[in-house]
Amino acid sequence: MSNSIHTTGDLAVSVQHLGLTYTTTIDRRPTLKSRLKSMGRGTKQTRVVRALDDVMLDVHYGSVLGVVGSNGAGKSTLMRVISGILPPSQGKVEVFGKVSTLLALGVGFSPSLSGRENVQLGGLAAGMTRREIEDHFDEIAEFAELGDAIDAPMRTYSSGMYARLAFSVAVTVKPDILIVDEALSTGDAKFKEKSLNKIKELRSDSRALILVSHALGTITDICNEVVWLDKGKLIQRGNPDEVVDAYAKFLHVGKSAAINEDV
Ligand SMILES: Nc1ncnc2c1ncn2[C@@H]1O[C@H](COP(=O)(O)OP(=O)(O)O)[C@@H](O)[C@H]1O
Ligand SMILES: [Mg+2]
């Protein structure tokens, strides 16, 4: 919980010629024909996915950047690289500040530990002191609306409970740079609204927010710039109306229909 030294216009994240390639080894069950052909030489195949291709992006303090694009466009991969979870294959990423990441479900918490223990560990990992965690624990637990479940192992949590706690920790840390990757779509309507208000509250000259969402209405509502990714490439960057409009056209739906979708 640093006293931020950043002000509007300062560079928060610099992404230069970023490329990321996933290489996965697939174990194909061999057919008789392929086995004869390969003469027992093994049938491992590699699947190579170019998830990010020469992406250039600057994010400045004071801005709320929306990220849109179809499934598989590379949005989550870009967030993982900015968060330092994945190293780039090409190019580089520089981050000037403390990042707190709220990725799509499945990252960060240990299922065998209770919510309380995960908050303590997560807070320490995010750079909070034990004292700060203690001071903020009630605030985190209350925002997450978990009640007694805060002391139950997280493997017993529903995805909504999991997401509420993750969101609560990420925003309480008061990061310099907050990345929210589709996590807003997991809660019920009431929690969604509460989280959106929290994000609006976190908008500040000394903070940069990056928001990945399919809810184009939310994007145009709270972002001041938007980037559109497709097949690993940055297609367009600009003001929210302009980019969302172009993306919605690309999706072959009217803008109003896209804005009303709530996913
Ligand atoms: N861990 C992974 N291993 C292999 N391929 C992956 C992995 N994660 C994502 N991909 C692939 O990389 C591409 C981009 O995925 P992703 O960044 O998750 O896109 P988005 O978040 O925009 O839906 C997709 O083709 C996806 O299948
Ligand atoms: Mg994603």
Domains delineated in the chain: 56-260 (3.40.50.300)
Give me the pLDDT at residue 262, please. 44
Comparison of pLDDT for 222 and 32, the residue scoring more:
222
What ligand is nearest to the CA atom of residue 230? 1
| CA Rg value for the chain | 20
Residue 129's closest CA among 150, 137, 153? 137
Q: Where are the alpha helices (DSSP H) in the chain?
A: 32-38, 75-83, 115-125, 130-144, 159-172, 189-202, 216-222, 240-250, 255-260
Give me the pLDDT at residue 42, please. 62
75 lines ligand 1 (CB under 6 A): yes
71 lines ligand 1 (CB under 6 A): yes
Task: Give residues with Cβ within 8 angstroms of 39, minimum separation 6.
Answer: none
214 lines ligand 1 (CB under 6 A): no
Ligand 1 atom with the smallest distance to the CA of 74 is 17
Q: Is the pLDDT of residue 261 over 50?
A: no
CA distance 209 to 59: 9
22 lines ligand 1 (CB under 6 A): yes
Percent of the chain with pLDDT over 70: 86
Task: Give residues with Cβ within 8 angstroms of 88, minimum separation 6.
Answer: 18, 19, 20, 81
CA angle 175, 178, 182 (to 5 degrees): 150
| Per-residue tokens: 61 | 């303090």
* Average pLDDT in the chain: 86
Give me the pLDDT at residue 41, please. 62
Comparison of pLDDT for 49 and 188, the residue scoring more:
49
pLDDT tens column, 125-164:
767 788 988 999 999 999 999 999 999 999 999 888 888 8
Exposed, middle or buried by CB within 10 Å (0-12, 13-18, 19+), for 253? middle
CA distance 204 to 200: 9
Q: Is the pLDDT of residue 217 over 80?
A: yes
73 lines ligand 1 (CB under 6 A): yes
- Give the amino acid at 177: I
Percent of the chain with pLDDT over 90: 51
- Give the amino acid at 37: K
Mean of pLDDT values over 33-57: 82
Lowest mean pLDDT, pick from 19-28, 190-199, 254-263: 254-263
Give me the pLDDT at residue 4, please. 60
Comparison of pLDDT for 192 and 21, the residue scoring more:
21
Q: Is the pLDDT of residue 209 over 70?
A: yes
How sure is the predictor about 102, in pLDDT bands with cuts at 50, 70 and 90?
low
pLDDT tens column, 3-40:
567 888 899 999 999 999 999 888 777 677 766 776 65
Which residue lies with its CA nearest to atom 7 of ligand 1? 22
Mean of pLDDT values over 165-182: 84
How sure is the predictor about 106, in pLDDT bands with cuts at 50, 70 and 90?
very low
CA 83 to chain centre: 9
- Compute, in angstroms, the gap from residue 248 CA to the centroid of ligand 2: 18
CA distance 20 to 99: 20
- Compute, in angstroms, the gap from residue 189 CA to the centroid of ligand 2: 21
Residue 120's closest CA among 58, 172, 184? 172
Of 24, 67, 70, 76, best ligand 1 pocket probe by most atoms within 8 Å of the beta carbon: 76
